[in-house]
Amino acid sequence: MRQTRQIDDVRALVREWRSAGETVGAVMTMGYLHPGHLSLVAAARQDCDRVLGTVFVNPLQFGPAEDYGTYPRDEARDLAMLAEAGCDGAFMPSVQTMFPNGERDPRDSRTTVHLQGLTEVLCGRSRPGHFVGVCTEVLKMFNILGVDISYFGEKDYQQYLVIRAMVEDLALPVRVVACPTLREPDGTAMSSRHAYLAPAERAIAPRLYATLSRTATALATRGSGAAADLTDQACTDLLAQGFTAVEYVEVRDHRLAEPGPQTDPRTLRVFGAVHLGGTRLIDNVAVAEHQPDNPTEQP
Ligand code: AMP
């Protein structure tokens, strides 16, 4: 696996591959990798001749009171995992390389990308500036890498939609592909932030997925008119189950529109964000995958 921290080097690498007629896929990460990230690498390997992994903790997407400083990092382990998963290249730029003018917050940045419409709800409401930070950095990565396809996880479903919209709106020459959320055996969506959880908190974490799944199954039965009652109940249940705070539980369609009473529940997803002590966890599930008679439904 070829490794570089320099923009010119990674550009030359991708150019070399593409000029040989090879297709190149990217998996962009903030590191502290787990099998969820590697499932994106596996998807990229299926579709592309070459796969490039990136590891960069993007300061622009963290709010001033968030965990940028403490976000878990282990570059040597990440590189070993990317190589083992079959990446052909890895790009690990420094913050100075990505943001040489000292930008650490979108408000410091001369140029930013602000996407209207999908970013005011869910995580965008509780994390002002977050998606400006994501889009600004992801656009820059796209411009640096010049890959054919980029893979994103449905675990961050809103982020995937926002990036897809940015690509469409700005006619960026890259295809965006979503991959399903990889879960622990207990149902918890794999996340680098699990490193923060004490054992007692980790024992509570699976209840987020269980509650969202139960809500999705009930929606499939009762229809979208029951969404408000069901999300209220889910919030109450999450607090009773030990989460410190519930930021949101919301039902929206696959494009994040609010459902009307007649919306086909199979187009809906249930989104949740909770806090466990100082750790923020998010997850979402598709109602279509939680039909009452679905044998793959987890308890
Ligand atoms: P992160 O390092 O958390 O920024 O994630 C990098 C990419 O991996 C994003 O596209 C995430 O949506 C994706 N990802 C993170 N966790 C999972 C998971 N459990 N299953 C699938 N994809 C994931």
Residue-wise pLDDT tens digits, 93-136: 999 999 999 988 998 899 999 999 999 999 999 999 999 999 99
Say how many Å lie between the CA of residue 182 and the centre of ligand 1. 9
Index of the ligand 1 atom closest to the CA of residue 156: 12
Nearest CA to ligand 1 atom 14: 153
Kindly state the average pLDDT of the residues 252-273.
95
Determine the pLDDT at residue 293: 67
Index of the ligand 1 atom closest to the CA of residue 33: 2
Query: Average per-residue pLDDT in the chain?
Result: 96
- Cβ(39) – ligand 1 distance below 6 Å: yes
- Cβ(79) – ligand 1 distance below 6 Å: no
Give bridge partners of residue 270 from the DSSP assignment. 251, 285
Contacts of 195 (CB under 8 A, 6+ apart): 32, 72
- Cβ(155) – ligand 1 distance below 6 Å: yes
Determine the pLDDT at residue 108: 87
Query: What angle is formed at CA 279 by the lines to CA 123 and CA 59, rounded to 5 degrees?
Result: 60
- 252-255 CB contacts, 8 Å cutoff, 24+ apart: 252/121, 252/122, 254/286, 255/161
Determine the pLDDT at residue 261: 86
pLDDT band at 46; cut points 50, 70, 90? very high
Two structure tokens written together for 139: 């656009």
Is 59 a residue whose pLDDT tops 80?
A: yes
For residue 241, which of 274, 216, 268, 265 has the smallest C-alpha distance? 274
Say how many Å lie between the CA of residue 20 and the centre of ligand 1. 30
Q: Tell me whether strands 268-276 and 245-253 are parallel, antiparallel or unpaired.
A: antiparallel
Determine the pLDDT at residue 294: 55
**Number of Cβ atoms within 10 Å of the Cβ of 31:** 22
pLDDT band at 291; cut points 50, 70, 90? confident
Specify whether the backbone of 118 is left (phi greater than 0), alpha (psi in -120 to 50) or beta.
Answer: alpha
